[in-house]
């Protein structure tokens, strides 16, 4: 694989992703104003349907803009001498390949942030807002964007600089792979403790009978130690959701406060059982090893491309090529596996808390999150980590009818 092949692999991935987003946009534009019969089995409120379609159209427009803009940036630096010139300048400034990697990593994050910024603003203030923006909203937006930039620049600089250093040290590309696997493990372990609280206020779950009931469920499933926490969205909106995250003593079960306020005790138990199902079925472990496999692909591509130019430039091109190959070859299989895992977790929750409670929770979440609009088949295959809500509800109906 040489530099010219990298350009065309990335261009092919760009064409595929943009075509899928355009197909999704056209599909959403063709959805009726009234509730389709297949959706009407579960949804009777036409206002919720129209809001779901409107939000889906807006989000698709934003994602199409972000995808097109990022690919335009990457293709520009690949098809022009800009990347090589920047690499030579960074080497002259920093005096070493590793230092040049640090500088180029930070600059890459800054460039991507600048390209995505207008679309982020449009998403927050035009697409996902149910009320007029205020000065506080604008301040929060710029505060969050500053944190995103700082975090992205730090991680990108450390990753590229560290990769260059390791590629030149003993162990070479094997060292890069070991470092990536360790970083993946560290991220899973520390996300609920250090990363999430940077953007959201996290507080302890309120004391009471519900907390004791949830803790008892976790203890019976062997999920100890574990801490129950609530994500406060009073200062920053977040869709109602729940997640089981972290490892060992850093393990957390996180509930968004709007979910806790809007759901019955039976529905909260069903949502918790869904997350326990992911753990009991080994989904977190499976996803970790999928990430480890993809990191091996990334390192292999970087190794193949390591001789096409100065080390920081070659490694950056390797990252571009690996991401393009992920989209072209692996992404549909990964998404398919994740959708299967969600259905398995739904089935576990239905068996634990009852299909009626799980279905009720899912119906409420779909309406709260305005998630009733279906997607184009290709978009579902490439991007939807969760199966369509209708498919999940139909699966729960089958479980209820079978008495499982």
Say what the pLDDT of residue 136 is: 55
Which of 8-22, 83-97, 244-258 comes out lowest in average pLDDT?
Answer: 244-258
Say what the pLDDT of residue 173 is: 77
Question: Phi and psi at residue 94, in whole multiples of 5°?
Answer: -90, -25
Structural element, H or E, at residue 120: helix 97-122
Per the prediction, the chain carries an average pLDDT of 88
Query: Which residue, 275, 258, 255, 274, is CA-closest to 210?
Result: 255
Which of 15-24, 231-240, 254-263, 293-302 comes out lowest in average pLDDT?
Answer: 231-240
In the predicted model, is pLDDT for residue 307 greater than 80?
Answer: no
Count of CB atoms situated within 10 Å of the CB of 96: 15
Alpha carbon distance 394, 400 (integer Å) = 10
Question: Phi and psi at residue 256, in whole multiples of 5°?
Answer: -70, 135
Say what the pLDDT of residue 134 is: 47
Say what the pLDDT of residue 360 is: 93
- Is the omega angle on the peptide bond into residue 50 within 30 degrees of 0, that is, cis? no
In the predicted model, is pLDDT for residue 24 greater than 80?
Answer: yes
pTM of the model: 0.90
In the predicted model, is pLDDT for residue 387 greater than 90?
Answer: yes
In the predicted model, is pLDDT for residue 57 greater than 90?
Answer: yes
Q: Quick: pLDDT tens for 206-250.
A: 888 888 888 888 888 777 767 888 988 877 777 778 888 877 777
Please report which confidence band the pLDDT of residue 284 belongs to, taking 50, 70 and 90 as the band edges.
confident
Which residue has 């035009």 as its token pair?
A: 126
Which of 58-62, 228-232, 236-240, 252-256 comes out lowest in average pLDDT?
Answer: 236-240
């Amino acid at each position: 694989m040489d530099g010219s092949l990298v350009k065309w692999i990335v261009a092919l991935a760009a064409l595929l992703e943009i075509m899928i987003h355009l197909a999704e946009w056209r599909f959403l534009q063709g959805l009726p104003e009234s509730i389709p019969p297949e959706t009407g089995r579960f949804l009777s409120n036409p206002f919720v349907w129209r809001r779901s379609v409107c939000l889906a159209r807006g989000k698709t427009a934003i994602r199409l803009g972000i995808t097109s803009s990022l690919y335009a940036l990457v293709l520009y630096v690949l098809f022009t001498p800009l990347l090589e010139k920047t690499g030579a300048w960074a080497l002259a400034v920093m005096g070493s390949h590793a230092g040049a990697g640090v500088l180029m990593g930070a600059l890459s994050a800054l460039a991507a942030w600048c390209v995505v910024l207008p679309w982020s603003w449009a998403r927050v203030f035009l697409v996902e807002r149910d009320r007029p923006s205020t000065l506080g909203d604008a301040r929060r937006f710029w505060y969050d964007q500053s944190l995103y930039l700082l975090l992205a620049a730090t991680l990108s600089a450390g990753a590229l600089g560290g990769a260059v250093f390791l590629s030149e040290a003993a162990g070479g590309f094997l060292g890069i792979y070991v470092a990536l696997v360790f970083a993946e493990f560290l991220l899973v372990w520390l996300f609920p403790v250090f990363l999430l609280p940077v953007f959201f206020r996290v507080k302890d779950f309120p004391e009471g009978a519900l907390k004791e009931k949830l803790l008892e469920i976790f203890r019976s499933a062997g999920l100890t130690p574990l801490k129950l926490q609530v994500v406060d969205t009073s200062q920053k909106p977040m869709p109602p959701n729940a997640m089981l995250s972290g490892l060992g003593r850093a393990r957390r079960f996180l509930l968004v406060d709007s979910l806790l306020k809007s759901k019955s005790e039976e529905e909260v138990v069903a949502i918790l059982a869904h997350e326990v199902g992911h753990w009991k079925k080994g989904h977190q472990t499976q996803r970790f090893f999928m990430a480890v496999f993809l990191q091996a692909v990334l390192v292999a591509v970087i190794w193949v491309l390591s001789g096409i130019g100065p080390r920081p430039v070659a490694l950056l091109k390797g990252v571009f090529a690996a991401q393009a190959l992920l989209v072209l070859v692996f992404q549909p299989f990964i998404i398919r596996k994740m959708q299967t895992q969600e259905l398995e977790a739904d089935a576990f929750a239905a068996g634990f808390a009852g299909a009626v409670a799980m279905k009720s929770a899912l119906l409420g979440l779909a309406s709260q999150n305005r998630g009733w609009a279906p997607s184009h088949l290709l978009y579902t295959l490439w991007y939807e980590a969760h199966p369509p809500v209708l498919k999940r509800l139909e699966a729960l109906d089958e479980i209820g009818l079978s008495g499982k």
